[in-house]
Chain A
Amino acid sequence: MDAAPQTATPSAEGPIGAKAFLDQLFTAGVLTETGVDGLYGRSGDFEEVIERFEALVTRYAGADKAERIHFPPGMPRPMLEKSGYLKSFPQLAGCVHSFMGGEADHARLLQMLANGEDWTELQQATDVVLTPAACYPLYPTVAKRGPMPEGGVLFDLKSYCFRHEPSQDPARMQLFRMREYVRIGSPEEVRAFRESWLERGPELIRSLGLSCEIDLANDPFFGRAGKMLANNQRDQGLKFELLIPVANEKPTACLSFNYHQDHFGTLWGIQQADGAPAHSACVGFGLERVALALFRHHGMKVADWPQSVRAVLWG
């Protein structure tokens, strides 16, 4: 039955602005405010949409037979240091700090807290940093296994990721989930993998009643040097994004398709079967962003979503 009155769904045509959309999500209880921009509670419906979307992704990827491996949202600090992340994105990184003092320091900390002073100077960096992308802990893990088998390897990853970019755009959260498939192998193998997702991605998104387009993209590398990295990335066609109109004038990147060449293979010493540095590529799904696009276009009440969309997600 698809008899739900369409008036139950607020108009989702045209840009309403990120802040207005965020307010709609709060009012409807889809997201819950915490007092920090980019850090929100999620409703049961929101979580269920993400679960159903992930199941759909798994159905699309099923035949690929990926090895599933999930890392926690924190990773070893030395791993991030070696990864080069701090060269490219120092502004986004998050390092976990803890209190490591004695009783006298503790008393000082409580005093500072009571006085409303900055107590965080009594914290020291731990060995843990927040994971910035689901695939970062994977590469050293694969390298440890030794040379890859003929034909390379494919992984299915998911993690909460942290990026320090507080914003009132609900599509730019500080903590969000990324589902990723990572292909490691020869240049031909990883390029074919990326091509396959450049075809499957739009098909999958359109099956959910969302319009989308694929465009060339670059990462938000830091500073002037970053401008050069970004230009290099574009010139070489290393990054594509799948864009869905959500709340802003500019559509929102919800999936990304990245070819790293042999960057991670060389950095971590991942070898192809013949000993050459491995190439890698990944497709990343911004799970919150896809869910937000669905709520924006189909309304705040999941029960009122078009039957065609519900059929794809709930089957």
Chain B
Amino acid sequence: MRDRIRKLIAERKVVAVDVDTLTDTSDLYEAGLSSFASIQFMLALEDEFDIEFPERMLTRKTFVSIESIDRSIAELIGEQV
């Protein structure tokens, strides 16, 4: 799942740096993720994984790193099962 997230970050030019320079715990906001870009990214993640982030997850903390995104998506997919 983390590879798919990385691929999306690269495709959508979500951050200002090369995605390969990011670790799973790198702060995406520090890497150039803006407020507006984070919304586009959130919608792209919903499309890619066929999920809908509930309001409680629509926070900076959810999208701060590849690891945190992975954790949130896993939780949502888990809920669907």
Contact = CB atoms under 8 A, between A and B. Distances in A.
B39 A231 contact: no
Interface residues of A, number: 12
B38 to A, nearest CB: 7
B37 to A, nearest CB: 11
Contacts of A106: none
A235 B29 CA distance: 13
Contacts of A224: 55, 58
Interface in A217-276: 224-225, 227-229, 231-232, 235-236, 263
Interface in B53-81: 55, 58-61
Contacts, number: 28
A235 B36 CA distance: 15
A108 interface: no
A84 interface: yes
B43 interface: yes
B48 to A, nearest CB: 17
Contacts of A87: 36
A231 B60 contact: yes
A232 B55 contact: no
B60 A225 contact: no
B31 interface: no
A209 to B, nearest CB: 39
B35 interface: yes
Interface of B: 35-36, 38-39, 42-43, 55, 58-61
27 contacts: A84-B36, A87-B36, A224-B55, A224-B58, A225-B39, A225-B42, A225-B43, A227-B55, A227-B58, A228-B38, A228-B39, A228-B42, A228-B58, A228-B59, A229-B35, A229-B39, A231-B58, A231-B59, A231-B60, A232-B35, A232-B38, A232-B59, A232-B60, A235-B59, A235-B60, A236-B60, A263-B35
Given A229-B35, A232-B38, 4 more contacts: A228-B58, A231-B60, A232-B59, A235-B59
